[in-house]
Structure 1
Amino acid sequence: MNYSFRKATASEIPEVWEILQQAIVRRKKDGSEQWQDGYPNLQSVQNDVEKGQGFVLTEGETITGYSAVLINDEPEYAKIIGKWLTNDDFVVFHRVAISENHLGKGLAKKMLEYIEDFALSNNIYSVKADTNFDNTAMLKIFEKSGYKYCGKVYFRGGERKAFEKTLAKNS
Protein backbone atom coordinates (compact mmCIF):
# COMPACT_ATOMS: atom_id res chain seq x y z
CA MET A 1 0.00 0.00 0.00
CA ASN A 2 1.06 3.54 -0.71
CA TYR A 3 0.88 5.34 2.66
CA SER A 4 2.06 8.79 3.54
CA PHE A 5 1.96 10.97 6.65
CA ARG A 6 1.66 14.72 6.26
CA LYS A 7 0.21 17.87 7.78
CA ALA A 8 -3.56 18.11 7.49
CA THR A 9 -5.10 21.01 5.58
CA ALA A 10 -8.03 23.17 6.67
CA SER A 11 -10.22 21.61 3.99
CA GLU A 12 -9.65 18.16 5.55
CA ILE A 13 -10.91 19.16 9.02
CA PRO A 14 -14.47 17.80 8.46
CA GLU A 15 -13.12 14.40 7.36
CA VAL A 16 -10.65 14.29 10.26
CA TRP A 17 -13.42 15.20 12.70
CA GLU A 18 -15.56 12.36 11.31
CA ILE A 19 -12.71 9.88 11.97
CA LEU A 20 -12.33 11.19 15.53
CA GLN A 21 -16.09 10.90 16.13
CA GLN A 22 -15.94 7.24 15.01
CA ALA A 23 -13.07 6.67 17.47
CA ILE A 24 -15.01 8.36 20.31
CA VAL A 25 -17.91 5.93 19.69
CA ARG A 26 -15.47 2.97 19.57
CA ARG A 27 -13.91 3.98 22.89
CA LYS A 28 -17.38 4.02 24.45
CA LYS A 29 -18.32 0.62 22.92
CA ASP A 30 -15.04 -0.81 24.27
CA GLY A 31 -16.08 0.33 27.75
CA SER A 32 -13.37 3.01 27.92
CA GLU A 33 -13.93 6.32 29.69
CA GLN A 34 -11.43 7.97 27.34
CA TRP A 35 -12.85 10.74 25.12
CA GLN A 36 -16.30 10.58 26.76
CA ASP A 37 -16.14 14.10 28.25
CA GLY A 38 -16.57 16.30 25.15
CA TYR A 39 -12.88 16.10 24.23
CA PRO A 40 -11.54 15.88 21.63
CA ASN A 41 -13.92 18.14 19.75
CA LEU A 42 -14.04 19.99 16.45
CA GLN A 43 -12.26 22.98 18.04
CA SER A 44 -9.29 20.80 19.09
CA VAL A 45 -8.89 19.58 15.49
CA GLN A 46 -9.15 23.15 14.13
CA ASN A 47 -6.50 24.30 16.63
CA ASP A 48 -4.19 21.41 15.68
CA VAL A 49 -4.44 22.21 11.97
CA GLU A 50 -4.08 26.00 12.45
CA LYS A 51 -0.89 25.44 14.49
CA GLY A 52 0.50 23.00 11.90
CA GLN A 53 0.28 20.15 14.45
CA GLY A 54 -2.54 18.10 12.85
CA PHE A 55 -1.29 15.19 10.73
CA VAL A 56 -3.11 12.70 8.51
CA LEU A 57 -2.13 9.20 7.48
CA THR A 58 -3.24 8.65 3.90
CA GLU A 59 -3.52 5.64 1.64
CA GLY A 60 -3.25 7.15 -1.81
CA GLU A 61 -5.69 10.10 -1.62
CA THR A 62 -7.79 8.59 1.20
CA ILE A 63 -7.36 9.82 4.77
CA THR A 64 -7.09 6.71 6.94
CA GLY A 65 -5.97 8.22 10.26
CA TYR A 66 -5.22 11.33 12.27
CA SER A 67 -2.92 12.45 15.04
CA ALA A 68 -1.75 15.71 16.58
CA VAL A 69 2.06 15.80 16.68
CA LEU A 70 3.87 18.42 18.78
CA ILE A 71 7.46 19.14 19.73
CA ASN A 72 8.25 19.82 23.43
CA ASP A 73 4.68 20.96 23.98
CA GLU A 74 2.95 19.16 26.81
CA PRO A 75 3.07 21.07 30.11
CA GLU A 76 1.38 18.22 32.03
CA TYR A 77 4.35 15.95 31.27
CA ALA A 78 6.55 18.02 33.61
CA LYS A 79 4.26 16.90 36.45
CA ILE A 80 4.65 13.15 35.84
CA ILE A 81 4.25 10.90 38.85
CA GLY A 82 7.09 8.62 37.90
CA LYS A 83 10.13 9.33 35.75
CA TRP A 84 10.67 9.86 32.03
CA LEU A 85 13.49 7.90 30.37
CA THR A 86 15.00 11.18 29.08
CA ASN A 87 14.78 14.90 29.79
CA ASP A 88 15.78 16.03 26.29
CA ASP A 89 13.67 17.38 23.45
CA PHE A 90 10.70 15.16 22.65
CA VAL A 91 7.87 14.67 20.21
CA VAL A 92 4.47 14.06 21.74
CA PHE A 93 1.36 12.78 19.96
CA HIS A 94 -2.28 13.04 20.95
CA ARG A 95 -5.68 12.19 19.44
CA VAL A 96 -4.64 9.10 17.47
CA ALA A 97 -7.62 7.84 15.48
CA ILE A 98 -8.01 5.44 12.56
CA SER A 99 -10.94 5.53 10.16
CA GLU A 100 -13.65 2.94 10.79
CA ASN A 101 -13.14 1.63 7.22
CA HIS A 102 -9.44 0.96 7.79
CA LEU A 103 -9.34 -0.82 11.15
CA GLY A 104 -7.37 -4.04 11.59
CA LYS A 105 -4.59 -3.11 9.16
CA GLY A 106 -2.04 -2.07 11.79
CA LEU A 107 -2.38 1.59 10.80
CA ALA A 108 -2.07 3.02 14.31
CA LYS A 109 1.28 1.23 14.66
CA LYS A 110 2.27 2.50 11.19
CA MET A 111 1.33 6.05 12.24
CA LEU A 112 3.60 5.74 15.29
CA GLU A 113 6.44 4.71 12.97
CA TYR A 114 5.84 7.85 10.89
CA ILE A 115 5.79 9.96 14.08
CA GLU A 116 9.13 8.41 15.10
CA ASP A 117 10.52 9.27 11.63
CA PHE A 118 9.22 12.84 12.11
CA ALA A 119 11.09 13.02 15.43
CA LEU A 120 14.32 11.76 13.87
CA SER A 121 13.99 14.19 10.96
CA ASN A 122 13.95 16.97 13.60
CA ASN A 123 16.98 15.46 15.42
CA ILE A 124 14.78 14.45 18.34
CA TYR A 125 15.34 11.03 19.91
CA SER A 126 12.40 10.73 22.28
CA VAL A 127 8.68 10.20 21.65
CA LYS A 128 6.26 10.55 24.57
CA ALA A 129 2.57 9.81 24.78
CA ASP A 130 -0.18 8.88 27.18
CA THR A 131 -3.45 7.02 27.15
CA ASN A 132 -6.29 6.11 29.46
CA PHE A 133 -5.78 3.10 31.74
CA ASP A 134 -8.72 1.41 29.98
CA ASN A 135 -7.73 2.02 26.34
CA THR A 136 -6.54 -1.54 25.79
CA ALA A 137 -6.05 -1.10 22.03
CA MET A 138 -3.58 1.78 22.48
CA LEU A 139 -1.85 0.07 25.42
CA LYS A 140 -1.19 -2.97 23.17
CA ILE A 141 0.17 -0.72 20.40
CA PHE A 142 2.56 0.96 22.86
CA GLU A 143 3.77 -2.47 24.00
CA LYS A 144 4.22 -3.79 20.42
CA SER A 145 6.00 -0.59 19.36
CA GLY A 146 8.60 -0.62 22.14
CA TYR A 147 7.23 2.15 24.36
CA LYS A 148 8.16 1.96 28.06
CA TYR A 149 5.73 2.80 30.88
CA CYS A 150 7.08 5.81 32.81
CA GLY A 151 4.31 6.76 35.24
CA LYS A 152 1.09 8.73 35.46
CA VAL A 153 -0.01 12.14 34.19
CA TYR A 154 -3.32 13.94 34.64
CA PHE A 155 -5.55 15.61 32.04
CA ARG A 156 -8.91 17.21 32.74
CA GLY A 157 -8.89 15.53 36.17
CA GLY A 158 -8.31 12.04 34.76
CA GLU A 159 -5.32 9.79 35.35
CA ARG A 160 -3.44 8.64 32.26
CA LYS A 161 -0.62 6.15 31.74
CA ALA A 162 2.48 7.85 30.31
CA PHE A 163 4.93 6.18 27.93
CA GLU A 164 8.20 7.05 26.24
CA LYS A 165 10.25 5.50 23.46
CA THR A 166 13.85 6.50 22.88
CA LEU A 167 15.05 6.42 19.29
CA ALA A 168 18.52 5.48 18.11
CA LYS A 169 20.71 8.25 16.76
CA ASN A 170 21.97 7.35 13.31
CA SER A 171 25.69 7.98 13.12
Structure 2
Amino acid sequence: MQIRIATSEDLDDLVRIYAAARRYMAEHGNPHQWGDGRPSPEEIANSVEEGACRVGVDEDDRAHFSFTIYSEEDPTYQQIYDGAWLNDEPYVTIHRVASDGTMRGVFSSVLARAKDEAGKLGIHNLRIDTHNDNLTMQHVVAKAGFSYCGIIHLKDGDPRLAYQLVL
Protein backbone atom coordinates (compact mmCIF):
# COMPACT_ATOMS: atom_id res chain seq x y z
CA MET A 1 0.00 0.00 0.00
CA GLN A 2 1.20 3.47 -0.88
CA ILE A 3 -0.30 6.91 -0.27
CA ARG A 4 -0.08 9.63 -2.89
CA ILE A 5 -1.70 12.94 -3.74
CA ALA A 6 -4.97 12.36 -5.58
CA THR A 7 -5.38 13.51 -9.16
CA SER A 8 -8.42 14.15 -11.33
CA GLU A 9 -7.92 10.65 -12.74
CA ASP A 10 -8.86 9.30 -9.29
CA LEU A 11 -12.27 10.99 -9.15
CA ASP A 12 -14.35 7.93 -10.07
CA ASP A 13 -12.49 5.84 -7.47
CA LEU A 14 -12.92 8.57 -4.86
CA VAL A 15 -16.68 8.75 -5.47
CA ARG A 16 -16.77 4.93 -5.13
CA ILE A 17 -14.75 5.02 -1.89
CA TYR A 18 -16.97 7.64 -0.26
CA ALA A 19 -20.12 5.74 -1.32
CA ALA A 20 -18.70 2.59 0.32
CA ALA A 21 -17.87 4.57 3.47
CA ARG A 22 -21.42 5.98 3.63
CA ARG A 23 -22.84 2.45 3.36
CA TYR A 24 -20.50 1.23 6.11
CA MET A 25 -21.43 4.10 8.41
CA ALA A 26 -25.16 3.58 7.83
CA GLU A 27 -24.82 -0.14 8.57
CA HIS A 28 -22.90 0.60 11.80
CA GLY A 29 -25.24 3.09 13.44
CA ASN A 30 -24.02 6.30 11.80
CA PRO A 31 -26.47 7.06 8.96
CA HIS A 32 -26.40 10.84 9.40
CA GLN A 33 -22.74 11.89 9.14
CA TRP A 34 -22.55 11.69 5.36
CA GLY A 35 -26.07 10.44 4.77
CA ASP A 36 -26.87 13.39 2.55
CA GLY A 37 -24.39 12.23 -0.11
CA ARG A 38 -21.45 14.16 1.24
CA PRO A 39 -18.82 14.67 0.31
CA SER A 40 -20.38 15.44 -3.04
CA PRO A 41 -18.47 14.79 -6.26
CA GLU A 42 -17.91 18.56 -6.45
CA GLU A 43 -16.48 18.69 -2.92
CA ILE A 44 -14.21 15.75 -3.73
CA ALA A 45 -13.05 17.41 -6.97
CA ASN A 46 -12.35 20.65 -5.08
CA SER A 47 -10.16 18.87 -2.51
CA VAL A 48 -8.27 17.17 -5.36
CA GLU A 49 -7.83 20.52 -7.12
CA GLU A 50 -6.56 22.11 -3.88
CA GLY A 51 -3.97 19.35 -3.52
CA ALA A 52 -5.43 18.33 -0.14
CA CYS A 53 -6.80 14.91 -1.10
CA ARG A 54 -4.69 11.79 -0.56
CA VAL A 55 -5.38 8.26 -1.77
CA GLY A 56 -4.15 4.92 -0.52
CA VAL A 57 -3.43 2.72 -3.51
CA ASP A 58 -2.54 -0.92 -4.10
CA GLU A 59 0.33 -2.26 -6.22
CA ASP A 60 -1.78 -1.61 -9.36
CA ASP A 61 -2.30 2.05 -8.33
CA ARG A 62 -6.01 1.48 -7.64
CA ALA A 63 -7.35 3.69 -4.87
CA HIS A 64 -8.89 1.99 -1.81
CA PHE A 65 -8.99 4.77 0.79
CA SER A 66 -8.90 8.51 0.92
CA PHE A 67 -8.49 11.45 3.29
CA THR A 68 -7.68 15.13 3.16
CA ILE A 69 -4.92 17.02 4.91
CA TYR A 70 -4.89 20.76 5.53
CA SER A 71 -2.11 22.74 7.17
CA GLU A 72 -3.93 26.06 7.43
CA GLU A 73 -6.16 26.95 10.35
CA ASP A 74 -9.60 25.35 10.19
CA PRO A 75 -12.29 28.01 10.79
CA THR A 76 -14.57 25.46 12.47
CA TYR A 77 -11.85 24.81 15.07
CA GLN A 78 -11.65 28.44 16.26
CA GLN A 79 -14.31 27.85 18.92
CA ILE A 80 -14.45 24.69 20.97
CA TYR A 81 -17.10 23.94 23.57
CA ASP A 82 -17.14 21.74 26.66
CA GLY A 83 -13.36 21.51 26.62
CA ALA A 84 -10.25 23.08 25.13
CA TRP A 85 -7.54 22.34 22.62
CA LEU A 86 -4.31 21.03 24.12
CA ASN A 87 -2.45 24.09 22.80
CA ASP A 88 -2.82 26.95 20.34
CA GLU A 89 0.17 26.01 18.18
CA PRO A 90 -0.10 25.37 14.41
CA TYR A 91 -1.69 22.06 13.45
CA VAL A 92 -2.41 19.81 10.50
CA THR A 93 -6.04 18.73 10.16
CA ILE A 94 -7.13 15.33 8.91
CA HIS A 95 -10.59 15.26 7.32
CA ARG A 96 -12.83 12.89 5.36
CA VAL A 97 -11.12 9.60 6.14
CA ALA A 98 -12.90 6.96 4.04
CA SER A 99 -12.22 3.42 2.88
CA ASP A 100 -13.78 0.94 0.50
CA GLY A 101 -13.24 -1.70 3.20
CA THR A 102 -10.73 -3.81 1.27
CA MET A 103 -7.55 -2.82 3.16
CA ARG A 104 -6.64 -3.18 6.82
CA GLY A 105 -4.74 -0.62 8.89
CA VAL A 106 -6.08 2.36 6.98
CA PHE A 107 -6.06 4.82 9.88
CA SER A 108 -2.52 3.83 10.88
CA SER A 109 -1.42 4.63 7.33
CA VAL A 110 -3.35 7.90 7.35
CA LEU A 111 -1.76 8.87 10.66
CA ALA A 112 1.77 8.02 9.49
CA ARG A 113 1.29 10.17 6.37
CA ALA A 114 -0.18 13.06 8.38
CA LYS A 115 2.72 12.93 10.86
CA ASP A 116 5.19 12.91 7.98
CA GLU A 117 3.57 15.88 6.24
CA ALA A 118 3.28 17.81 9.52
CA GLY A 119 6.94 17.11 10.31
CA LYS A 120 8.05 18.45 6.94
CA LEU A 121 6.22 21.68 7.77
CA GLY A 122 7.66 21.88 11.28
CA ILE A 123 4.19 21.38 12.76
CA HIS A 124 3.83 19.33 15.94
CA ASN A 125 0.05 18.94 16.27
CA LEU A 126 -2.64 16.98 14.47
CA ARG A 127 -6.36 17.62 14.84
CA ILE A 128 -9.36 15.63 13.69
CA ASP A 129 -13.09 15.59 14.36
CA THR A 130 -15.86 13.08 13.94
CA HIS A 131 -19.58 12.60 14.33
CA ASN A 132 -20.90 11.47 17.71
CA ASP A 133 -22.32 8.31 16.08
CA ASN A 134 -19.08 7.37 14.31
CA LEU A 135 -17.90 4.84 16.88
CA THR A 136 -15.37 3.29 14.48
CA MET A 137 -13.53 6.59 14.02
CA GLN A 138 -13.72 7.39 17.73
CA HIS A 139 -12.11 4.03 18.47
CA VAL A 140 -9.23 4.36 15.98
CA VAL A 141 -8.55 7.97 16.97
CA ALA A 142 -8.34 7.08 20.66
CA LYS A 143 -6.23 4.01 19.89
CA ALA A 144 -3.83 6.24 17.91
CA GLY A 145 -3.27 8.42 20.99
CA PHE A 146 -5.42 11.44 20.19
CA SER A 147 -6.92 13.26 23.18
CA TYR A 148 -10.57 14.23 23.21
CA CYS A 149 -10.74 18.02 23.49
CA GLY A 150 -14.41 19.03 23.21
CA ILE A 151 -17.06 19.85 20.63
CA ILE A 152 -16.71 21.97 17.52
CA HIS A 153 -19.46 22.97 15.09
CA LEU A 154 -19.28 22.66 11.33
CA LYS A 155 -20.30 25.58 9.11
CA ASP A 156 -23.85 24.19 9.00
CA GLY A 157 -23.95 24.03 12.81
CA ASP A 158 -23.62 20.26 13.18
CA PRO A 159 -21.59 19.30 16.26
CA ARG A 160 -18.49 17.13 16.02
CA LEU A 161 -16.23 15.52 18.62
CA ALA A 162 -12.80 17.16 18.38
CA TYR A 163 -9.45 15.50 19.05
CA GLN A 164 -5.81 16.55 19.07
CA LEU A 165 -2.50 14.70 19.03
CA VAL A 166 0.71 16.48 20.05
CA LEU A 167 3.65 14.99 18.16
TM-score, length of structure 1 as denominator length? 0.90
Write out the 4+ residue segments of structure 1 that deviate beyond 4 Å after TM superposition: none
Aligned to 2:143: 144
> In 2, distance between residues paired with 1:47 and 1:159?
23
Question: What is the match of residue 90 of structure 1?
Answer: 91
Identity of aligned residues (%): 28
Match of 1:13 among 11, 14, 29: 11
Structure 1 CA distance for aligned equivalents of residues 47 and 73 of structure 2: 12
Shift of 1:74: 1.2
Check if 1:47 corresponds to 2:46.
Answer: yes
Amino acid at match of 2:135: T
- For residues 1-171 of structure 1, the aligned pairs below 5 Å read 3-32=1-30, 33-60=32-59, 61-81=61-81, 82-102=83-103, 105-155=104-154, 156-167=156-167
Indicate the SS of the match to 1:22. helix
Q: Please give the alpha-carbon distance, in whole angstroms, between the structure 1 residues aligned to 2:56 and 2:125.
A: 21
SS in 1 for 2:34: coil
Specify the SS of the correspondent of 2:78: helix
Q: Over aligned residue pairs, what C-alpha RMSD do you find?
A: 1.2
* Structure 2 unaligned blocks of 5 or more: none
CA contact (8 A) 1:97 1:108 kept: no
Residues 85 and 164 in structure 1, CA contact (< 8 A), matched pair in contact too: yes
Q: Secondary structure at the match of 1:138?
A: helix
1:121, 1:65 → 2: CA distance? 23
Kindly provide the amino acid, as one letter, of the partner of residue 20 in structure 2: Q
Q: Which amino acid aligns with 1:15?
A: D
How many residue pairs get matched?
163
CA deviation string 1:62-109 (max 9, x = no partner): 21210011012410100111211121111001110112322xx12122
- Structure 1 alignment gaps of length 5 or more: none
Q: Which has the higher strand share?
A: 1
Partner AA of 1:95 in structure 2? R
Return the letter of the residue paired with 1:100: G
Residue pair 2:73, 2:90 contacting (<8 A) in 1 also: no
In 2: Cα distance, 1:73 partner to 1:21 partner: 28
